[in-house]
A and B are shown apart, each in its own frame.
Chain A
Amino acid sequence: MSIKVRYFASLKESIGRSEDTLSFTPLLTVSDVWKLANPTIALSENILVAVNMDYVNYDFIVSDDDIVAFFPPVTGG
């Protein structure tokens, strides 16, 4: 019963971690996941979120075993 949280690029550097593992509880949104993992840091509006590698909104409700990824705007190509 857990959720894996991943961070990339500048966000990974500013948080100082690339990964967290949280206990799963029902009805957690992506915002809740962020608050649990980073209680002292506000979730900046330009941060993108993917659950299981698909983009979602902050109010998306996560399931057990989901991988939630937070990252800055993408800059490939």
Chain B
Amino acid sequence: MKEILKKTFEGLRGLLSGMALTFRYLVHPDKVITQQYPENRAQLKLPPRARSRIELIKDEQNGVYRCTACGLCVRACPNNSIEVIRDRDPVTQKAKLNKFIYHFERCTICGLCVDACRSEALRMGQQFETAVYDSAQLTIILNKDSKPAGEEPASERKTASTPSETEAAPRPPSVSAAAIQPTPAPSSPAA
């Protein structure tokens, strides 16, 4: 009998101390930690290293993208989410960037492309509101605002899966080059 009584009072004390704890939070409204997201959009500051969608970096002086279309980031990316289309500059025979296609729906934001890029042309942006209504919008051309170089020399594709080299599995049925018109909003079949 004594053991039952002791257990009852022990139990009651435990229950009441639990209730006391929740009551303490009830009567301290200053401890509320809710952030009213859309309203506090202005004060919301991400730490400098927060990573989201990648962006091409422009050179400070002449405002041209630093990317030299070398394709290192294409090889570094585990998920084929970067495709670089480049032109052979007739004069200097050096490669020049034509189009930098970025499939955000396949990117896992691992940061390997930025890590592999030798000419510091890539940066992880901090734009965290990246939801879109149509998956085609996830295929972004990062250097959209740079003027395409005069006429369109035979642009040679530098992508992870150039047809010449893959053996068994051909490229996934993702964005095929032909489907991308120079117009900014490519209506490419979703991957």
B is bound to A: no
